[in-house]
Every structure is written in C-alpha cells, then in structure tokens.
Amino acid sequence: MSGGNGSNKLWGGRFGGAPSEIMEHINASIDFDRRLYTQDIAASQAHCAMLVETGIISSADGAAIEKGLAQILSEIDAGELNVDPKLEDIHMHVESRLTEIIGEAAGRLHTARSRNDQVATDFKLWVRDAIDGIDRALADFQRALLAQADQHAETVLPGFTHLQVAQPVTLGHHLLAFVEMAGRDRGRFADARTRLNESPLGAAALAGTSFPIDRQATAKALGFERPAANSLDAVSDRDFAIEFLAAAALCATHLSRLAEELVVWSSAQFGFVSMSDGFSTGSSIMPQKRNPDAAELIRAKTGRIAGALNTLLMVMKGLPLAYSKDMQEDKEPVFDAADSLGLCLAAMTGMVRDMTVNTEAMLASAATGFSTATDLADWLVQNLDMPFRQAHHVTGALVKLAEDKGCDLPDLLLEDMQSAEPGITAQVFDVLTVERSVASRTSEGGTAPARVREAINKWKERLA
C-alpha cells in the first residue's frame, strides 16, 4: 500500500519518492517469509499483552489489536492473504491488514519494537518448531530401523571395509549403527534448540528501548527460557539458523550413507534387499528395471542441504553489528533445508519399514571373501598361545593357499592347515562358519545376536 507520493506508509516518511520497481522486487521477501505468519502473530500477541500489562498502551487498544490479530490468523489459515509486494514482508502485511480491520489503534502495536527484533523472534520460533518436527521424524526413523533390526538380529551379512568383505556381521547390528547416528542427530538438534531458546523481542532495532517493557513476560509467553542478554547480539544473531543447518546437513549425510547402501544392496549384483513398489520406479525403455529412485534422491538432496549451510555461512561471514539487509537471505536456505530433510526422513523411514530382506543372499555373500580369516587368527592366539602378529602371518599364508586352490578357508583340509602351522587341530573348523563368527563377537557393542537384542531393548526403552 502506498502513500500519495508512492512511498511506503509504514516506513516512507523519510523518503520523497517511491522505490524503483527493481528495488521493490529485490527488497521484498513476502514470497518466502509468509511462512512465518503463525509465529509473527504469536509474537505480536505476546508483545501486545505485555504493552497492556505495563500500561504502555490502553487495554481497549490492546483488546482491539488482539481481536484483529486473531482474525488475521484465521484469514491466512484459510488462504486469504492478499499479497502486495510493496508491503515487502509478512510483518508489514499483518500490520497493514490490522490497520484495515481496527484502524489507528493498529499503529500502537509496533511500540517498543522493531522489525529487527520482530523478525529475529519470528525466525527463532519457526526454527524451534522445525526442530521439534524433525525430532519426531527422527524418532519414527529409529523405530523403523529397530523393527527391522529386531526381525533380523541373527541375519548374517558381510561387513565391509573399503567396500571389501571384512568380517561377518548381523543385519540387526548394521541397522543399529544408523539408530545410533540418528540418536546423535537428535542430540545435536536438541542442543541447538536449547541454545536458540532466548527471546530477541524487546531488543528493538539494536539498542533496546526507553519504554518500560517487560522482556521476561514476553519471553515466558513465547516459551523462551529467558530474554537474549545483549540487544546488539539479539537482532544480529543467526547462529541458531546456522546450527540448525549444520545439524540438518550431518543428519542428511547419515541418510545419504544409508541410501547409498540401499542402492547397492538392491542391485542385481547384490540382491540383499528389495524395495517396495511405493519407493521404486520403472524405466521408460527397459521393462525389467526397478529403480531405487527415492534412495537416489535422498543422496542428491543431501548436497542441497549442505549447500544451504554454506549459503548462510557466506551470508553472515562479513557482516558488522548489528542488522544488515543481507540477513533477509537467511530464511530461504533454512526453509528449503527443513523441507528437504523432512521429506528425506519420511522417504527413508518408509523405505526401511517396507523393504524385504533376502537373508539367503546375505548369508551366501557373508561366506565369501575369506570373511572368517580374523576368527582363524584369533583361534591361533587363544588355542596355541601364538602372538597375534605371528597368527596374522599364518592366517595370511592360509588365505593365499585357499586362493590358489580356488576355495574358502572352511573348505581347506586339515593337512592344508597344518602345512602352515602343525599345531592346528580339527577344532579350528568350529570357528570358521559365519554363524559361529558373529556369535563369538560378544564384546560390548559387538555384533553377536545376544548383544544386538540387548541394544534393541535399550533403544526401545529410550524411545518409549
């Protein structure tokens, strides 16, 4: 909405002319910050109540403002926001509409605050809500992993290092690794939430205000732990958004690692898992194809989320105190990353929950690549009192012998074993099966099914 000279009624008193059309376009943020409307109205309601309580505005004006804000919230919820680029952002849209509804009293709402502390407050509230939603999604993801881990606590598959067969592990143990990662992700988001939970409201433009406001009251009304301690920092801080993006980028990286495994595992060459119809696509030319597109898109969106973190770091890196218009660029990367991560979590949770495990293919693969070589070396140490380095050398020689014979370690004859170490007895074959191998890994945090079930039960208790 413009005045007679084309300047903005909400800030145009200093200006004799209107901004250019290009300036209006680059300056406007309503296309994306309209998402803050719930938080903006909630913060305005808290601010209004405090202004009445402290006697800064009358109770009659406060009641009119409160009623008008409630009406605006209802209108926007119903999709009735009339966007005017000249009004720049969601804050000015709300104030302009409030003026239309209640008249001059609307102008009193902005007493003792600035758009600087207003937007910082709104954005913190939005990020806090986003963290709460992501935490719930991560918990659902953990439950999906635990359900599969519980079902496959004894299912054997090859454990890899360098994408080479290393030692047999259980699928339950493998999936629990991602439960642990998701647990750390939840911890990082929780830490970020704790640090952000200080209210900028009342910092005004940068220096505080001369009005006798009660920042404790507005902080409490909005669920903050306390007011931010320094007004300059309060309006210029975007650490909370950067921390959110850092946690999101690492969380997405974890999802991408699992996505990569599902892509590999569902290939014909591995055949470890089959993805459900709900999370697969076909080919326009090759009728036999079943593509794990959801997993591949999660891999790709991880770059998008990490890019959002880098974007905001670059926005903030050279800004002097306090507020600069550069900071208008903080919201789009955060909104996009939050949307992308939420979608990735939902897709990965669905894929894990619906996937079918080919236990036979996993077991057959686990028995290849001399995966029980370490068990043989451990047997030599435990039964022949051999130093581990010597046992490692003997085992290496037996692996070479098996390679030459075109067989695996359990297929060697006893005399073959004794050609490398005469002390070896027939008992050695008891430890060379993959089932015995995983069952023997009973150290804390190990892959033995008994340990896996212990870990599953502990996580179920934590998630309950």
Peptide bond into 366 cis (omega under 30): no
Of 58, 59, 267, 283, which residue is the catalytic one? 283
Q: CA 218, CA 221: separation in Å to the nearest integer?
A: 5
Count other Cβ atoms within 10 Å, centred on residue 210: 8
**For the stretch 265-282, what's the b/e string if a residue is b when 16 or more beta carbons lie within 10 angstroms of its beta carbon?**
bbeeebebbbbeeebbee
* Strand ranges, E, within 286-427: 356-357
Of 2, 162, 174, 371, which residue is the catalytic one? 162
Give helix 331-354 / helix 293-316 axis angle, nearest 10°.
160
Is-contact 259 273, C-beta < 8 A?
Answer: no
DSSP, collapsed to helix, strand or coil, labels residue 357 as strand
Q: Report the chain's C-alpha Rg in angstroms.
A: 31
Is-contact 295 351, C-beta < 8 A?
Answer: yes
Angle (nearest 5°) at CA 231 between 225 and 237: 75
Q: β-strand 273-274 against 198-199: which pairing, if any?
A: unpaired
Q: Is 392 a catalytic residue?
A: no
Is-contact 312 241, C-beta < 8 A?
Answer: yes
CA atoms within 13 A on the CB side of 38: 11
Q: CA 222, CA 197: separation in Å to the nearest integer?
A: 10
Q: How far does CA 212 lie from the centroid of its chain?
A: 41
Q: CA 305, CA 296: separation in Å to the nearest integer?
A: 15
Place of tokens 């808290």: 46
Q: Which residues, 6 or more positions from 70, have their beta carbon under 8 angstroms from its beta carbon? A: none
**Residue 355 parent element (H or E):** none
Identity of residue 390: Q
Q: Is 283 a catalytic residue?
A: yes
Q: Which residues, 6 or more positions from 273, have their beta carbon under 8 angstroms from its beta carbon? A: 262, 265, 266, 355, 356, 357, 358
Q: Which residues are catalytic?
A: 162, 283
